[in-house]
Structure 1
Amino acid sequence: MLTVLLILIPLVTGLITFGLKGSGPKVLGLISSLASLAVVIGALFQFRTAPDALHLVAPWIPQLGAQFNVGLDGMAVMLCLLTNIAFLLVFITIYNRSYERASSFYGLMLLSQAGLIGVFTAYDAMLFYVFWELALIPVYFLCSMWGGEKRIPVTFKFFVYTFAGSLLMLVGIIYLYLQSPDRSFSYTTFTNLNLPVQEQSWLFWLLFVAFAIKMPIFPFHTWQPDTYEQSPTPVTMILSGVMVKMGLFGVIRWLLPVVPQGAYMWAEVAMVLSVIGIIYASCIAIVQTDIKRLIAYSSIAHVGLMCAAIFANNEQSLQGIQIQMFNHGINIIGLWIVVEIIQQRLNIKNMDEMGGIAQYAPRLSIFLVIIALANIALPLTNGFIGEFLMFSGLFQYNFWLMGVAGLGIILAAVYTLNMVQKVIFGQGNALTATTVDLQNTELVALSLIVGVILFLGVYPKPMLDLVGSTTELVNKVF
């Protein structure tokens, strides 16, 4: 069963990794990520021919009515593909790096991967919650053990935010379970509850706040910039490239179908908060000198647009947000890989101390320019089609809301091109003159990213076809 293998491979290899020494952890991590990617590609082909074969229901905790219920629809396949590509890129990029307690580092990374896959495949609310926590707990230890100087208070803040959100979600899940006629956590049971509007209204906020913290959107975002800055860059790649998608996925998979009337009631409020986040984060990104914080605020702005598009409730916006989840993940991981390379070479994050890198690392500079253009959704890059569909959906919903959100495009161009100018152009200095161009592993990782950017920018149809079934399902219930 391919869906179960997607969870078991990183889970088992992660546990094994804790007992390895020397180069064993990074070798097994790379092998595990390659095996997981092969399995998800197989699942992608099977989804096109026999999607029912990717669904498995088995007894788990029968006393509570909880089942091991996992499966893959188009959106889940896409997010599992993103997850496995992300971890492969991370392990390739850091293959030549050395970490203290490497066995624990790689083991925790793989356990987090297993949790992420579980979140995207779970069709049982209790199972979804368990995997949600499994994905987050290893990240807490990764940040607190391998983070920067301020990692302890920052990680504590991250834990408080995510734990509070998880508790709210758990309360909502338990309430829905108690209302179910068969005392079941089944996805089908939850979506068929048809609760009164008043109950859906407050249940919406229990679930939405949990997902909004994870995305994050304004005003639940304050944990994110500090965490991204203090976390080791490989962990930040996973946090911003994949984990923020847990919140977006939760809204589409669980929130909209389970409490559709509550979502309809509060859609405008959620969209306004999202749009405020776009403008707020973009303006702060413009004045940043720390490259990690700039990319962190950039991510808040991009996710804000995706969250707003969800609640526009039309086919274009739902298609756009789903393919943009994949494309944003690829692009933001590309930016973080460049940041990781620069930090390894120069040991600085302040863009004012950079400059002229193009003279000494031309290949790195070319990749940064291409990824940066994708980040601002230039036509013929992967970011364009998703943003076009999202803005088209927002235009159908409310022209003025779309207009304000559209300012984010202009602001994104300002802070992204300003970053490129400060980092690679201009006069070099004694520090940047020591920059060494890409190593082979770094070249492979960035080449894969640029290949995806250009392919999906020119030919996005495979991704649109993949997420089409989920779009139709959500449109029926919301």
Structure 2
Amino acid sequence: MLTVLLILIPFIAGLITFGLKGSGPKVLGMISSLATVTLAIGTWCRFRTAPESLNLVANWIPQLGSQFRVGLDGMGVMLCLLTAIAFLLIFITIYNRNYEQSNSFYGLMLLSQAGLTGVFTAFDALQFYIFWELALIPVYFLCSLWGGEKRIAVTFKFFIYTFLGSLLMLVGIIYLYFQTPDHSFSWTSFTGTQLSAGDQKWLFWLFFVAFAIKMPVFPFHTWQPDTYEQSPTPVTMILSGVMVKMGLFGVIRWLLPVVPQGAAMWSDVVIVLSIIGIIYASCIAMVQNDLKRLIAYSSIAHIGLMCAAIFANNEQSLQGVLVQLFNHGINIVGLWIVVEIIQQRLGVKNMDELGGIAQKAPRLAIFLVIISLANIGLPLTNGFIGEFLMFSGLFQHNHWFMAFAGLGIILSAVYTLNMIQKVIFGQGNTLTETTTDLLPGETLVLSLVVIMIIVLGVYPKPMLDLVSGTTEMASKLF
């Protein structure tokens, strides 16, 4: 029942929000997010003592062989917790912001949260697909209604990419449904289907393209920088902090267990594409002046490393990916919060127009430096352990792959430190002279981010223990 409540609370709150006025939407959004975080922590505790109690099967569409199946393993618990924390951080950050038609804005945000949580808990392929779309549709409206000047064209491109990917996945799901002996959409039936190597070879791409677009991985990434730039920053936080994890989750939960031979056949091709994306995105990030686009390309590079590590086909690399799913989400949301604060204060996101902020806003400067260093994997921050495990796994698979992927570390240090120098240090100007330091709510939300960065960097064992079961299960496929 706890698993169902993780979906129902934001879903029902989102529907109610559409009918509220005044400060009602933001208040209900905050209450819903606090309740969901509390519940997500409760599921973690329950998972440690009675994991089977988090599974539920109920009749849904028996004529199609589809049941409402939800459940949580370590990866699911971690991603539901990340989703709940990310939305809480977002709602705290924007609590004092005023949005036109705020009831629709908060309602769509909460529906997106429900869809994301549904994706991470689904063990029925048809149910997984429906939640996949439920997470996408609210984001489409959020981008198109509250985005920047070019939002219509950019959102259309985003929709076309994701819709085509979803369509390919749907074709794959329907094909697999007819291959199951019991004509069922359940995860167990899909993973037990006896598929020939030839079938797996082409089925792999139906699913992988859908997941690769969502991550995104080179060359399916071109929608991302424009969408991140034009979307309202809270929506960008959802896209980069949580929604990209849907693609990586889909690979681990559905792709590897269902078509393991297909994954083995194409693993080196995917790793090469991922490494190209790491180097390509990092090089473009180095020449960016727009803060949003820099972080967007940085995210492509980080996700590329995670995708490559999944297909390195060993337990160590997969464990690194699972840990990094959570840590990357926290770090990237923290960076977007800083960008949102700077943009709200100064009205600009061009780094050439910034500088000297540390003189007027020292607390903001300290938080940005810590979060940025975590994002490049500095030891004793949460970004280190995951990257270390992923690179170790890549080295075991192919040391040349690890060497080329390792260029991303050097390049990320270059563009990140350059960003810190341009935004925080250096000489101030007439614009940055007017900035003020963090408000209490902003200090609270960034403090929560930094606490998680330091605690999980110094003591990552709880996160490693949480995902150990998923790692062991997936390693049997290698």
Both structures adopt the same fold (TM-score exceeding 0.5): yes
Give 1:28-427 correspondences, 5 Å limit.
Answer: 28-427=28-427
1:47-101: per-residue Cα shift (whole Å, max 9, x none)?
A: 0000000000000101100110000000000000000000000000000000000
- In structure 2, distance between residues paired with 1:70 and 1:315: 26
User: Which residue does 1:460 correspond to in 2?
Assistant: 460
Offset of 1:190 from its aligned partner?
0.3
Offset of 1:315 from its aligned partner?
1.0
Offset of 1:477 from its aligned partner?
2.3
The letter for the 2-side match of 1:293 is: R
1:382-424: per-residue Cα shift (whole Å, max 9, x none)?
A: 0000000000000000000100000000000000000000001
1:118-166: per-residue Cα shift (whole Å, max 9, x none)?
A: 0000000000000000000000000000000000000000000000000
- In structure 2, distance between residues paired with 1:437 and 1:15: 36
Offset of 1:476 from its aligned partner?
1.3
User: Which residue does 1:431 correspond to in 2?
Assistant: 431
- In structure 2, distance between residues paired with 1:75 and 1:285: 30
The letter for the 1-side match of 2:198 is: Q
The letter for the 1-side match of 2:37 is: L
Residue 57 of structure 2 aligns to a residue whose secondary structure is strand
Offset of 1:285 from its aligned partner?
0.1
- In structure 2, distance between residues paired with 1:83 and 1:444: 19
User: Which residue does 2:11 correspond to in 1?
Assistant: 11
Residue 59 of structure 2 aligns to a residue whose secondary structure is strand
The letter for the 2-side match of 1:451 is: I
- In structure 1, distance between residues paired with 2:123 and 2:382: 30
The letter for the 2-side match of 1:350 is: N
Offset of 1:445 from its aligned partner?
0.6
- In structure 2, distance between residues paired with 1:109 and 1:4: 19
1:444-475: per-residue Cα shift (whole Å, max 9, x none)?
A: 11000000000000000000000000001111
- In structure 1, distance between residues paired with 2:210 and 2:376: 28
The letter for the 2-side match of 1:443 is: T
- In structure 1, distance between residues paired with 2:41 and 2:383: 22
The letter for the 2-side match of 1:247 is: G
| Aligned-residue identity in percent | 79
Gaps of 5+ in 1: none
1:247-275: per-residue Cα shift (whole Å, max 9, x none)?
A: 00000000000000000000000000000
Offset of 1:319 from its aligned partner?
0.3
* Matched positions, count: 478
- In structure 1, distance between residues paired with 2:290 and 2:47: 43
- In structure 2, distance between residues paired with 1:58 and 1:443: 44
- In structure 2, distance between residues paired with 1:428 and 1:278: 33
The letter for the 2-side match of 1:429 is: N
Residue 58 of structure 1 aligns to a residue whose secondary structure is strand
- In structure 1, distance between residues paired with 2:110 and 2:219: 31
Residue 64 of structure 2 aligns to a residue whose secondary structure is coil
Gaps of 5+ in 2: none
- In structure 2, distance between residues paired with 1:167 and 1:369: 42
- In structure 1, distance between residues paired with 2:8 and 2:467: 25
The letter for the 2-side match of 1:15 is: L
- TM-score using structure 2 length: 1.00
User: Which residue does 1:440 correspond to in 2?
Assistant: 440
- In structure 2, distance between residues paired with 1:449 and 1:349: 22
- In structure 2, distance between residues paired with 1:244 and 1:266: 21
- In structure 2, distance between residues paired with 1:262 and 1:315: 19
- In structure 1, distance between residues paired with 2:53 and 2:166: 31
- In structure 1, distance between residues paired with 2:444 and 2:18: 27
- In structure 1, distance between residues paired with 2:72 and 2:22: 37
- In structure 2, distance between residues paired with 1:240 and 1:78: 16
- In structure 1, distance between residues paired with 2:442 and 2:169: 39
- In structure 1, distance between residues paired with 2:236 and 2:194: 39
- In structure 1, distance between residues paired with 2:193 and 2:307: 25
Offset of 1:194 from its aligned partner?
2.3
The letter for the 1-side match of 2:287 is: V
Offset of 1:436 from its aligned partner?
1.2
The letter for the 2-side match of 1:433 is: E
Residue 477 of structure 1 aligns to a residue whose secondary structure is coil
Q: Which runs of 4+ in 1 moved over 6 A?
A: none
Offset of 1:441 from its aligned partner?
1.1
The letter for the 2-side match of 1:35 is: A
The letter for the 1-side match of 2:108 is: L
- In structure 2, distance between residues paired with 1:26 and 1:440: 18
1:320-377: per-residue Cα shift (whole Å, max 9, x none)?
A: 0000010000000000000000000011011000000000000000000000000110
- In structure 1, distance between residues paired with 2:259 and 2:460: 32
The letter for the 1-side match of 2:214 is: K
- In structure 2, distance between residues paired with 1:263 and 1:314: 13
- In structure 1, distance between residues paired with 2:475 and 2:381: 28
The letter for the 2-side match of 1:98 is: N
The letter for the 1-side match of 2:296 is: A
1:152-202: per-residue Cα shift (whole Å, max 9, x none)?
A: 000000000000000000000000001111010000000001200000000
- In structure 2, distance between residues paired with 1:390 and 1:154: 33
